[in-house]
Structure 1
């Protein structure tokens, strides 16, 4: 019995030795490291970057880099080679997260400069070539260890361009997800209950316009609303980044 009490006493002393001294706070988990976000794409991505930049700059440990270029697209590598540009941007900036949004200019034929051929929109050659380029855009970022988020195209005012956007969304989503990235659909968020183009959002205080007059782009608030589809649900996609990125809310 005496030996048992001695053993228990030794165990108790050992446990106490693990506790911090009185008045000393327990060590807290280390805060997440700084997060660098690289935005890539056409005028859609550019608008999102510009609308978020002020918000993101005010957050400690967060840096946003603008790698966008308006009036560009995936189809015309002879004008701007996005697979090469995306690879170089990742190598130069070492981002933790890459956000892509592109396709507003991709209803033109897909040009294969090396072979001096082009594929009309809607053809099998177009779909295969486009998917290959999307894969080449996201792969370097994923290989570097960065997370990749690709926003799908929104509903658009013109019937023809809206249908084309639907087709591009299918190609983009299949390629991005197959490569290991996250695809964020925007179609439902930009359509009414009947699936029609939605220029404004009904709110308790009245409807608020969130699409630009051209029926393709967004207002400043509209870009933030679309970005919130990812940022407000980041803990679902990348919980390790949730504290750094934070929610955008409805502001």
Structure 2
């Protein structure tokens, strides 16, 4: 029993010590929090004092900027109002004391203290207005102070209608005023000096020069599968009739849309550099091109017929034509004919507009093919009529030609060529 009592007494003595320690810790924590709070409040108070000290400067700067802006706007509005009202500059004109009081009442007769000029647009200005200095003015109305003018002002349209009572019409040249303020006018002869020279109607696009070839000249054929069937016939005809050699570079499934697959502009330029005897370039392209194609610098394919597509395609056509002109080579460009598939047919119509416009810009030859093949872009036809007989000129795919159709196109190309013999051959 004594042992138990001692333990209970010790427990009672230890409890107040623990409570005091907890209270001390709590008080210490409160002191630290209060210190941190005081430090923050001091920092915020310092910032507020700094802002309060800087705020007048900011207010002054803002007021100054707004004042300058308002002055500029007011100054500009005054200038605009003056120019619209009196038709001359406020500060550059030397006559600010002109008597030009226009009454709003219709039909009132006004009098001016100085000579004024009324041009063909019914704009009234003084004769000493610097906007007319040293400028020949034709058919103006010069009104002296002794003459009266009936002036009507239209409020709705803001126009001034002038009805002269006694007006003399002259051709005058307005010059600077003298130091005493009197205007100086100079008479101009009213003869044919004022007449503008007549412009002759000169055509912007001339007819291309005829294709003239000699025996020493060569012909270059380029194109896709359409040219592959036509070029061999032309090549045989040229050599058989005129002993003219030719080069056939036509390649299936090629065009101008995908230069990475086959680059026609570069190929043509290289062959023209390598063989200076080539004097005629015959081009036949189209069915492989009316599709979207990639352009350098763009992630997606450029859409067919878009502005960028047309720009890039025209550039490739122009590159071929420029290479030909640089090497003194004439060009005969064949139009893509009608196609059976409607979408492809519409593509040929669009491409032919690009071919023809670029070819005619450089005064080269453009050969249409639909009439030769007996079809139009509105109606596709695989046959032509000859002596009440139908001759098939297109194969079943609605794109390529039969041998007869190829010969018809070859004959049309031959008709565009003029052969010139040498004088020695004529003497022999």
Answer 1 or 2: higher relative contact order, Cα 8 Å, separation at least 6. Answer: 1
- Aligned mate of 2:354, from 128, 153, 171: 171
2:230 is paired with a residue whose SS is helix
Q: Distance in 2 between matches of 1:118 and 1:179?
A: 30
Which residue number in structure 2 is paired with residue 72 of structure 1? 254
Using the alignment, how far apart are the partners of 2:411 and 2:306 within structure 1?
Answer: 34
Partner of 1:55: 237
Unmatched segments (≥5 aa) in structure 2 = 1-212, 422-428
Report if aligned partners of 1:51, 1:221 keep a CA contact under 8 Å in 2.
no
Say whether the 8 Å CA contact 2:292–2:302 is kept in structure 1: yes
* 1:120 is aligned to 2:303: yes
Moved over 6 A (4+): none
SS at match of 1:202: strand
Residues of 2 paired with 1:193 and 1:70: CA distance?
Answer: 25
More deviation in 96-105 or 222-231? 222-231
Q: Which residue of 1 aligns with 2:266?
A: 84
Residue of structure 1 in register with 2:48 after alignment: none
Any stretches of 5+ residues in structure 1 without a counterpart? 1-30, 235-240, 245-251
Displacement of 1:221 after TM fit? Answer: 1.8
Aligned Cα root-mean-square deviation (Å): 2.2
Structure 1 residues 208 and 83, CA, compared in 2 at 3 Å: closer, same or farther?
same
What are the residue-to-residue correspondences of 1:144-155 with 2, within 5 Å?
144-155=327-338
Deviation of 1:64 after TM superposition, in Å, equals 1.6
The 5 A counterparts of 1:192-211 are: 192=375, 195-204=378-387, 206-211=389-394
Matched, 1:98 2:305: no
Q: 1 or 2, which has the higher strand percentage?
A: 2
Equivalent in the alignment of 1:225: 408
2:316 aligned to which of 100, 125, 133: 133
What is the aligned partner in structure 2 of residue 187 from structure 1? 370
Out of 38-47 and 172-181, give the one that drifted further: 172-181
**Rg comparison, structure with higher value:** 2
Contact 1:188–1:195 (CA<8 Å) still a contact in 2? no
Quote the residue 1:26 is aligned against: none
Q: State whether residues 370 and 376 of structure 2, in contact with CA within 8 Å, keep that contact through their aligned partners in structure 1.
A: no
The Cα shift of 1:114 comes to 6.5
What residue number does 1:20 align with? none
| In the alignment, structure 1 residue 40 sits paired with structure 2 residue 222 | yes
How has the CA–CA distance of structure 1 residues 232 and 43 changed in structure 2, closer, same or farther, with 3 Å as cutoff? same
1:48 is paired with a residue whose SS is helix
**2:287–2:344 CA contact under 8 A, matched in 1:** no
Partner Cα distance (2:296, 2:420) in 1: 44
| TM, length-normalised to structure 2 | 0.45
CA 1:224–1:142: 2 relative to 1, 3 Å: farther
Q: Give the aligned length.
A: 208
2:356, 2:286 → 1: CA distance? Answer: 12
Displacement of 1:76 in angstroms is 0.5
Partner of 1:4: none
1:117 deviates by 5.6
- The 8 Å contact of residues 83 and 133 in structure 1, kept in 2 or not, is answered as yes
Deviation of residue 130 (structure 1)? Answer: 0.6
SS of equivalent residue, structure 1 residue 58: helix
Q: For 1:108, which of 291, 304, 313 is the aligned residue?
A: 291
Q: TM-score if structure 1 supplies the norm length?
A: 0.75
Q: Where does residue 24 of structure 1 map in the other structure?
A: none
Instruction: Answer whether contact 2:374 2:384 (CA < 8 A) is retained.
Output: no
- Contact preservation (8 Å) 2:218, 2:279: yes
C-alpha separation in 1, matches of 2:337 and 2:284: 10
**1: CA distance, partners of 2:328 / 2:221:** 16
